[in-house]
Structure 1
Amino acid sequence: LLVALLTAALLLAACGGGEEEAAPQASGGASGGSESAVEVSGPLFAFGFGYESGDEIAKVRIDRFREEYPDANVTFSESGFEAQPFLSALASGEPPDMVNMPRNTIGTYIARGVLAPLDDCIAQEGIDMGVFYDSAVQQVTVDGTAYALPEFLNSRIWILSNPAFEEAGLDPETIDLSDWDAIADANEQLTKMSGNRLNRIGIDPKLPEFLPLWAWANDSPMISEDGLQSQLEAPGVAEALEFSNGLHEAAGGRTKFLDFRDTWDFFGEDNQFAADQLAANPFEQWYLNVLADVSPNVDITVRPFETRSGEPFTWSDGNAWAIPAEASNPEAACAFISTMTNAETWIEAAELRTKNRNQDKEPNLGVYTANREADEVIFEDLKLDKWPNLEQAVQTVLDVQESGRSIPPSPAAAAYETAWTTAVNEVMTGGGEPAAALQAADQEAQEAIEAAAR
């Protein structure tokens, strides 16, 4: 079993839906305090997380656990999640007690039986799974059983450059983002060339990684709600790929597009929005924090992504805390993951970030958790009056979170993602037509799903 998983891990990357049956619920833990109903003591090892390498949001939550449970000794891998080292740790006979991993790939480990169901943990800590966003719970739930507690919530939204739109005679607040013809026309108008030289990309479709977003917008999810049926061959997916890939053409094709994008100061003060090198793209909301750090006065409008019928939505994902099935100290591990994800702990961590940002006179955009009750307090008053564009951006993210869609847990999450990503790259490099490339990818993905589900 672990040999097979180690082989699969070579393809696994920590990446970023339908509705599934909700996980069991109890009252307490995720909502407020985290005092455990059992004795919590002994050594604990967390894989895929760090204290020394973590920021204040990580440190405050860990410190809270250590204060509440002084008889427990928790240590960390001081690294992000990596599939092969995790599986090697399982195979060694000394598995970690808890693991922080991407929700997009957790289905692989659930299917192989290496993660423990959390029924007992939920009861032990009195965890109310209803306080977590539905899209996050769906990603960690199989057959009505939760296998992890959601941590952060990552959302995708449109980021639009106001000066670029105004120069093109377009209104970033009213452009119809549900109308693909309007998006294509705007892309042509927003792209700026000097002869054969590209000076500004109009719209970056964010391929290959954002194909699921475009497919959902076209009412064509790429995998079934139970994660067992690849739907890459659906005509709506091919149409979404053809359209989104076509947005590269205004810049002179994918190669010129990428060559220009590679010149951006993505994390610096001369980033693509500040330097007028990009007019619009869908992106994860964490990039707003980058802009708040390096370009707090950047002139942008943030809008939700929309289906072609005009329904605002987002693609949600993030990490989650799970307990390996062979963990040596599962009760203490349960107390730890409950503490790391409950509202009271999140709020304490966010308060420190607020204090730090205010002292530095920098905009504070909050902390996007997967816990609704925490978010209600964290975002109650961020005091962003000096940065109205960022204030509007944060509110847009909050407004769309309840409309999140997520990739359901699949027993072959890595192979499925590899299949469709390879197909998109093939199309973008001119090596195939969307329908044919996706049909081949669908067959590959379905074979992997069926093999993993046996």
Structure 2
Amino acid sequence: MPALVAARGPGAGTVAGTVEGEQMSIRQRRAVATAVLATSVTVLSACGSGSTASNGASADTFKGKPTGTLNAWAFDNADDVGKARLDYAKGQLGGLDIKLDQTAFDAQKFTTRIASGNVPDVVQMNSQFVATYAAQGLITPVDQCLSTHSVTATDHWYPQVVDDVKYDGKIWAVPQFYQPPAIILNKRVMDAAGVTAADIDTSKPEALIAAAKKMTKASGGNPTTMGFNPVPTGQPGLWLLAFGGKLIGDQGKPALDDPKNAQALTFLKQLVDAQGGWAKIKSFTDSFDVFGDKNQFVKDQVGAEVDAQWYVNVLTPYVKQVDISAVPLKDSSGQPVTAASGTAFVIPAGAKNPAAACAWMLDLTSDAGWMAAGAARAATLKAKPGAINTGLFTGSPSADKSIRSTYVKPSGNAGFDQTINTYYSILPTGKSFGSSPAGQQIQTEITNAIASALLGEKSPADALKAAQDASMQAYTKVVK
């Protein structure tokens, strides 16, 4: 499936540039979630009850000039944008000795390292993990870090991005960015079927299903063009938000059995059934050359598709081979809606150099750090004649505005320009999925529920009930 991942992707502007999300199988997601919960609970027992260690941070913890050695982990595969930010932060911190462990984040390894006392000073992780570790005292809240450096979270970052890393009234991580999903339109396929951009309206489910059906083509009973690809298991919470549902309720409790979630799953089931059924669609979309010369827009294998902003970067080399534009997803009232998610920086409990960790991760996410990244990306694109600068989506409104005004110029291709503008326009409309001590388990269970409902193995309501029960078991293991 095309990876609907607001967390990472080519050109995402992240420190780590690898892709995750849809490419992780349901079985792998379940294994990750189990590792997070089982290993974390073990570590919690070893450390004692509650979050005493993490709640002990004071303003003095983060004062003073950063010195000594900073150990940072999970900064794998940095691209030009990531390297520019790393260089900028290093330059700001003078004699600080920065040592990077450039392996990918691993939940079991993280909790094992904390239990053994081999604790890094900064870790980059998916924001969905943050509340799990916060509830168990395995990371340090960063409120005092921010105030020491005169950073007001909701001024520097979009509020929905901050909400992803808040739990129990505290901020537990420094957000890195967010890249909102929208719908990329393949105008060749749409024109051939007599479908317009106005027909791709998620606030009008019946009309959208009819438009998808008109664009769908098959050969021998198997799809050759999918009219509308909702990428339902790529970022499942997105569809719940669009229908007014939710993943997480008060105090971080799972809310997968919300009645509006069942409406979302019922719609998705109707949508995929109108295009050949989930089994055939999944097989078809798994064959897409998502990052290659024969991607689904070049080959006209989709009429419209939900994608995070970074996928526009993937399509830019094929500007002469595709004909695209974009529209936002809309909620039931017709208002644009998108979702915040991504990676964040945390300071583990027991970190030996929290003052340096605080200063370093704030430099990485400062406007100046992002402008250095913007300059690096512009230089990279300058070496590629005809390349299109789609901007960097940072999680910070001021940085986004500065990068856009400085580097994002008319490309000469009206469709790409309109697509880029659409993604910028929906940044303020993003909603947080919320944060929960069972956040990763919730993501795993809702993905399982959607797959089960789409395959017809369970009704939407029954699939959601099973997901809710499993998520609550995970929640109660952490919150006692």
What's the TM-score once normalised by structure 2's chain length? 0.84
Which residue of 1 is the match for residue 160 of structure 2? 135
- 1:363 aligns with 388
Query: Could you tell me how far 1:443 is from its partner in structure 2?
Result: 1.8
Aligned 1:140-159 pairs, distance under 5 A: 140-159=165-184
Q: 1:401 aligned to 2:427?
A: yes
Who is 2:26 aligned against? none
Q: Which residue does 1:337 correspond to in 2? A: 361
* 2:283 counterpart of 1:259: yes
Q: Aligned to 1:409, what secondary structure does the other structure show?
A: coil
AA paired with 1:313? V
CA contact (8 A) 1:103 1:318 kept: yes
Shift of 1:105: 2.1
Question: What residue in structure 1 maps to residue 100 of structure 2?
Answer: 76
What are the ranges of 5 or more consecutive residues in structure 2 without an aligned counterpart? 1-33, 42-61
In the other structure, the counterpart of 1:122 is: 146
> 1:204-353 counterparts in 2 under 5 A?
204-228=229-253, 230-295=254-319, 298-353=322-377
2:129 maps to what in 1? 105
Given candidates 57, 69, 82, the residue that maps to 1:43 is 69
Q: Which sits farther off after the overlay, 403-412 or 139-148?
A: 139-148
Q: Report the count of equivalent residues.
A: 424
Q: 2:192 matched to 1:164?
A: no
**Match for residue 451 of structure 2 among 425, 439, 445:** 425
Paired AA for residue 475 in structure 2: I
Alignment-mate amino acid for residue 446 of structure 1: M
Displacement, 1:425? 2.1
Structure 2 CA distance for aligned equivalents of residues 308 and 119 of structure 1: 36
Q: Is 1:410 matched with 2:436? A: yes
- Structure 1 residue 321, shift from structure 2 partner: 1.1
Q: In structure 1, give the amino acid aligned to 2:159.
A: D
Q: CA deviation at 1:142?
A: 2.0
Aligned-residue offset at 1:250: 2.9
Within the alignment, does 1:85 sit opposite 2:116 as a pair?
no
Indicate if the aligned counterparts of 1:217 and 1:306 stay in contact, CA closer than 8 A: yes
Identity of aligned residues (%): 31
Which amino acid in structure 2 is aligned with residue 7 of structure 1?
Answer: A
> By how many angstroms is 1:73 displaced?
0.9
Q: For 1:181 and 1:298, how far apart are their aligned partners in 2?
A: 28
Aligned mate of 2:227, from 183, 186, 202: 202
Once the two structures are overlaid, the 10-residue window that deviates more, 219-228 or 342-351, is 219-228
Distance in 1 (CA, whole Å) between partners of 2:284 and 2:200 is: 26
Cα distance, 1:45–1:6 mapped onto 2, change above 3 Å: farther
User: CA contact under 8 A between 2:175 and 2:345: conserved in structure 1?
Assistant: yes
1:254 offset after TM fit, Å?
Answer: 1.6
Which has the higher mean CA deviation after the structures are superposed, 89-98 or 239-248? 239-248
Letter matched to residue 442 of structure 1: Q
Q: CA deviation at 1:296?
A: 5.9
Distance 1:322 1:111 in 2: 14
- Give matches, 1:187-198, under 5 Å: 187-198=212-223
- Secondary structure of residue in 1 paired with 2:197: coil
Distance 1:89 1:154 in 2: 31
After superposition, the C-alpha distances for 1:397-417 in whole angstroms (9 at most, x for unaligned) are 111111101211101112222
Deviation per CA, 1:208-250: give whole Å up to 9, x if none. Answer: 233322221211223215422x222222211211211222223
CA distance in 2 between counterparts of 1:384 and 1:402 reads 22
Cα distance in 1 between the residues matched to 2:241 and 2:180 = 14
Match of 2:461 in 1: 435
Per-residue displacement from partner, 1:101-131 (whole Å, max 9, x unpaired)? 1112211011111111113211222212112
The answer (yes or no) to whether the contact 2:39–2:112 under 8 Å persists in 1 is no
Give the drift of 1:358.
2.0
**1:370 CA displacement:** 0.8
- Unaligned 5+ runs, structure 1: 11-35
Matching residue's letter, 1:277: Q
Q: Which residue of 1 aligns with 2:46?
A: none
Amino acid at match of 1:215: L
Paired residue type of 2:293: E
One-letter code of the match for 1:190?
M
Residues 300 and 8 (structure 1), Cα distance of their counterparts in 2 relative to 1, 3 Å cut: farther
Instruction: Letter of the 1:40 partner, please give it.
Output: P
Give the match's secondary structure for 2:348: coil
Shift of 1:193: 2.2
Shift, 1:326, TM fit: 0.7
The within-5 A match list for 1:381-396 is: 381-396=407-422
Q: Kindly provide the amino acid, as one letter, of the partner of residue 332 in structure 1.
A: A
Q: Are 2:124 and 2:343, in contact at CA under 8 Å, matched by a contact in 1?
A: yes
430-439 vs 333-342, which moves further: 430-439
What's the TM-score once normalised by structure 1's chain length?
Answer: 0.89
State the AA in 2 paired with 1:224: G
**In 2, distance between residues paired with 1:340 and 1:378?**
15
Q: Residues 225, 273 of structure 1: CA spacing in aligned structure 2 closer, same or farther, 3 A cutoff?
A: farther
Cα 1:440–1:196 change in 2 (3 A) is closer
Tell me the equivalent position of 1:181.
Answer: 206
Whole-Å Cα distance in 1 between the matches of residues 204 and 179 of structure 2? 25
CA RMSD of aligned residues (A): 2.0
Is contact 1:6–1:88 with CA below 8 Å preserved after alignment?
Answer: no
Paired with 2:454 and 2:201, the residues of 1 have a C-alpha distance of 26
- Indicate the larger mover: 164-173 or 381-390: 381-390
Taking the aligned partners of 1:452 and 1:205, their CA distance within structure 2 comes to 33
* Residue in structure 2 matched with residue 446 of structure 1 by the alignment: 472
Pairwise CA distance, 1:251: 3.2
Aligned partners of 1:86, 1:105: CA distance in 2, in Å? 11
